[in-house]
Structure 1
Amino acid sequence: MPSSARVPASTTLEVACDESGSEGEKLVGGSTDTFAHASVAVSTAVAEETIARVRVEARSPATEVKASVVLRPQNRRVLEWLLGDRGPLLGHSHVHLTDKALHLTGRMLWLLRDGARDGMGGGVDGDGDARGLHREAARRVGREAWVSVLAAFNDVVRARSLEEASAGASLLACRLSEVGGQLDRSLPAEGWSVPLDPEGLLRLVARGRGALDPIVPALADTLRHWGSPGRPFRVVHDVQASLTEAAVRAAVTGSGAEASGAFRGLHFVDSHADPRVQLADFLAGAVRRIASQVLAGDADPTLVTLVTPYLSDRSVWLGPWPAGTGATSLPRVAGR
């Protein structure tokens, strides 16, 4: 393998991206409770050699190596090599991690407060209300009861008709009422309400549509990370229907002036055709699986330690990464 995986500084940096755990704007009650967006900046040659080595060591006939292959117990040695300091990714990769329920708590607060009325596309990045509410709700009423509230809100915003939105809003108001007495100190003091009138509901659905998908703030953070040195860069991304032109524009705007000034565009590729994107897919899948285990209280300390250096400090995660494993603080609730 080449001695350095980094792309020569004299060229425009090309960053390959993929995600794991995407279910669009369905954030709770789906197949995954976490979302990870990974980006890698390695040469095509390094990526090809890495995929070839993994295929041999994992005894996989697949031309595209997926995270699920490397995460099998019998391939633990390969996984540790890929993530560790002897592998090709450390120092050349970045992962934005999202706890979907926490992200949805932030979106709900924004939309049920000023977001449904002010006409702005802002978010709740670093919002103490969202973090405090999510923490206290999980502690006082339990994660399951709180997720049922979030699910009701999620259904309202994703409603396909006024009738469906109205039924969902009534259920949301009921569930908030049921848990509200235990959350008085955590709920925002002003401007928090569930609209039940047709006009208010239509406004809420209109503002919320397109505002929930965690891939937009994740991509914004990715652009911010790679654009912060001011070096021109472009992104190659696995085909992702959620990344419409409007979504990419929102991510570029949210990345900040320095990154947006250095950004030279994004184009989509089939992961089968680009081994760099396959590495991003592997990294995103590994981090997402490990993060879900952390939420479930069933994480492997060694793997938690190995993925820690990759995690963005702008990840949507409540509190510190597990203590005693090379912990890093991941305190933010990221908005759009």
Structure 2
Amino acid sequence: MNGTSVADGARVAEVACDESGSDGENLTGGNTLVFAHASVRLPVETAAAHVQEIRDRIRSPAVEYKANHLLREKHRAVLEWLLSPDGPLHGHAHVHLVEKAFFVVDRAVDLLLDDPDAALALFRQGRPTFGDAEWREFLTAANRLLRVRHAGDARAPVEDFFRTVDRLRRAHSGSEPAGILERLAAARSRALSYRAEIDGGPAPLVPVLNPLLPSVVRTAAHWSAGGRPVLLAHDRQNMLTPDRIAWIEDTARRQGVALAGVRLVVAREDARVQLADFLAGIARKIASDELNGHGEPALTALLRPYTGPRAVWGDEPSWARLGPVAEAGDCRTELNSAV
């Protein structure tokens, strides 16, 4: 398709997607800090011409180009051209960013308290209050509590998490996050029920710790915001089984998102997906650098037009630089409505 098709009498925009930063359920101990889901809306022929121009500019003998080709310092001019207002992606691409540490906190607090405001407050107050080591301990315990795959005693993740919460609650009584810790400490029964359900039955269709599925919904919401139905052509991904694609489509429908469907494609056979792959990897690297405090202002400014206000992001200083200009002061997420 060249960007549009006809379904049920309505013109449907086709958008190609890919992701970067998947670490399975190991969100706090994996290789990346950020998950990025990128999407590109261009005719296939136009995208192919852009990919060929990238190859002509970089002149690498590699059969398949990836984002790291563009991220090399010797190809900085190509990277800046790709993202620039005069480049091929401007106005035709979008990237949904997920800060993995915040995703874990948000999912844990949603499970135990069903309170998104508490998740954001705990995330922003936790690290400066607890210190790096204790904050990392809390994140690791929360990740273990939520992850589906666990070897050993089924109760161990629950006990480990609540020991961590109790230790922090005692050590930091009177601090800003103390009230949230008290509420978490009282939610043991909900954690036990969650572990009993996932340990005693089949694996859940939608793992709590997987950011891909809600990100696909958010991508569809972005492109269909004007009311035009959108069909997503997504790079093949083991997580995107037929049942999970059905979940994505049903979730989008319940949220009023005009998603006409999701189809899987082979990246090397679709230049639009290749461009989405470039953007996802580039965005993940730039956003990770901002989180680590050594972002490059010029690259961050080039990425900013592609990011959306619905990012799952808790770190306020970095989002002030990464987020859309009109939304820079608001990095609240609507994740809870997407899972």
Q: TM-score range by the shorter chain?
A: 0.7 to 0.9
CA deviation vs aligned residue, 1:285-309 (integer Å, no higher than 9, x gap): 0110111111100100011101111
CA deviation vs aligned residue, 1:215-260 (integer Å, no higher than 9, x gap): 1221111111112222232111011112233433333344355754
**Matched residues, percent identical?**
35
* Equivalent residues of 2:5, 2:14 under 8 A apart: no
Structure 2, unaligned runs of 5 or more = none
Alignment of 1:3-14 (within 5 A): 7=3, 12-14=12-14
Q: What does residue 69 of structure 2 align with?
A: 69
Structure 2 Cα separation of the partners of residues 285 and 276 of structure 1 = 14
SS in 2 for 1:316: coil
* Equivalent residues of 2:16, 2:276 under 8 A apart: yes
* Equivalent residues of 2:234, 2:273 under 8 A apart: yes
Structure 2 Cα separation of the partners of residues 97 and 325 of structure 1 = 10
> Alpha-carbon deviation of 1:14?
1.0
Moved more, 105-114 or 196-205: 196-205
Q: What does residue 271 of structure 2 align with?
A: 275
Which residue of 141, 144, 168 maps to 1:152? 141
CA RMSD between the two structures: 2.8
Q: What does residue 181 of structure 2 align with?
A: 187
**Partner amino acid for 1:156?**
L
CA deviation vs aligned residue, 1:104-144 (integer Å, no higher than 9, x gap): 10110122235xxxxxxxxx6xx211100100101111344
Which residue of 214, 221, 224 maps to 2:218? 221
Alignment of 1:16-31 (within 5 A): 16-31=16-31
**Partner amino acid for 1:266?**
V
Moved more, 194-203 or 69-78: 194-203
Alignment of 1:1-336 (within 5 A): 7=3, 12-113=12-113, 127-158=116-147, 160=149, 163-181=152-170, 182=172, 183-187=177-181, 189=183, 192-195=186-189, 201-203=195-197, 210-255=207-252, 260=257, 262-318=258-314, 319=316, 321-323=319-321, 327=325, 328-333=328-333, 334-335=335-336, 336=339
**Partner amino acid for 1:215?**
L
Structure 2 Cα separation of the partners of residues 217 and 306 of structure 1 = 25
* Equivalent residues of 2:300, 2:321 under 8 A apart: no
- Label 1:279 to 1:184 Cα distance change in 2 as closer, same or farther (>3 A): same
- Label 1:270 to 1:288 Cα distance change in 2 as closer, same or farther (>3 A): same
* Equivalent residues of 1:41, 1:93 under 8 A apart: yes
Moved more, 199-208 or 238-247: 199-208
SS in 1 for 2:98: strand
CA deviation vs aligned residue, 1:67-101 (integer Å, no higher than 9, x gap): 01000011100000000111111111111100001
Q: How many residues align?
A: 319
* Equivalent residues of 1:316, 1:330 under 8 A apart: no
* Equivalent residues of 1:17, 1:237 under 8 A apart: yes
SS in 2 for 1:268: strand
* Equivalent residues of 1:234, 1:265 under 8 A apart: yes
> Alpha-carbon deviation of 1:330?
4.9
Structure 2 Cα separation of the partners of residues 322 and 196 of structure 1 = 35
- Label 1:256 to 1:311 Cα distance change in 2 as closer, same or farther (>3 A): farther
- Label 1:308 to 1:192 Cα distance change in 2 as closer, same or farther (>3 A): farther
Moved more, 135-144 or 297-306: 135-144
- Label 1:28 to 1:162 Cα distance change in 2 as closer, same or farther (>3 A): closer
Structure 2 Cα separation of the partners of residues 325 and 111 of structure 1 = 27
Structure 2 Cα separation of the partners of residues 159 and 51 of structure 1 = 39
SS in 1 for 2:59: coil
**Partner amino acid for 2:197?**
R
- Label 1:151 to 1:197 Cα distance change in 2 as closer, same or farther (>3 A): closer
- Label 1:31 to 1:221 Cα distance change in 2 as closer, same or farther (>3 A): same
SS in 2 for 1:164: coil
Structure 2 Cα separation of the partners of residues 326 and 19 of structure 1 = 20
* Equivalent residues of 1:223, 1:259 under 8 A apart: no
> Alpha-carbon deviation of 1:189?
3.8
**Partner amino acid for 1:235?**
L
**Partner amino acid for 1:248?**
I
CA deviation vs aligned residue, 1:33-61 (integer Å, no higher than 9, x gap): 11000011011112111111111211212
Structure 2 Cα separation of the partners of residues 100 and 324 of structure 1 = 16
**Partner amino acid for 1:264?**
A
- Label 1:112 to 1:196 Cα distance change in 2 as closer, same or farther (>3 A): closer
Moved more, 171-180 or 75-84: 171-180
